[in-house]
């Protein structure tokens, strides 16, 4: 059984009957054969899945490959053969998210708490320069 997209850019082949397990893993003769890209270009890709590949996995691959949602690609990295078939649209980055109150609180500058009391010295243990020191008795040194 073979399925192909209307534009001829992708296809899927399913082989019925008995297949050799060794050749399924070492050649292109597999239960499932999927391909995409222009036939006459080197940008063509393919994927194979053996008889023992779980069907949900094959289904997930085919759904992701056939998804019509646009994919981001660099224009300069597309081959000329693919550019003719691709629909290119410039992508603008999304705007930055609006900050939450918690974000604003985290980035607000930290302010010191206001002083509520004043420091008033009550006494001092230092002497003033005007205080006279008692004279030392001078004694001969030994």
Side-chain half-sphere CA neighbours of 20 within 13 A: 6
Model pTM score: 0.53
Pairing of strands 32-36, 45-49: antiparallel
Q: What is the pLDDT of residues 10-58, one digit of tens each?
A: 888 999 999 998 888 888 889 999 988 877 766 678 889 999 999 999 9
How crowded is residue 33: how many other Cβ atoms within 10 Å of its Cβ? 17
Q: Tell me: the pLDDT tens digits for 73-94?
A: 777 887 777 777 777 788 888 8
What mean pLDDT is reported for the chain?
Answer: 80
**How many CB atoms are closer than 10 A to CB 54?**
9
Q: What is the enclosing helix (H) or strand (E) of 102?
A: helix 101-107
């Amino acid at each position: 059984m073979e399925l192909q997209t209307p534009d001829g850019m992708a296809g899927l082949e399913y082989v019925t009957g008995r297949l050799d397990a060794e050749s399924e893993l070492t050649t292109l003769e597999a239960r499932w054969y999927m391909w995409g890209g222009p036939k006459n270009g080197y940008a063509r890709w393919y994927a194979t899945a053996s008889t023992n590949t779980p069907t949900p996995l094959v289904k997930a691959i085919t759904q992701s490959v056939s998804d019509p949602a646009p994919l981001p690609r660099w224009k300069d990295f597309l081959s000329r053969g693919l550019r003719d078939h691709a629909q290119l649209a410039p992508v603008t980055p999304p705007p930055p998210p609006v900050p939450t109150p918690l974000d604003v609180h985290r980035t607000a500058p930290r302010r010191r708490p206001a002083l509520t009391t004043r420091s008033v010295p009550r006494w001092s243990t230092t002497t003033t320069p005007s205080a006279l020191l008692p004279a030392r008795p001078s004694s001969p040194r030994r």
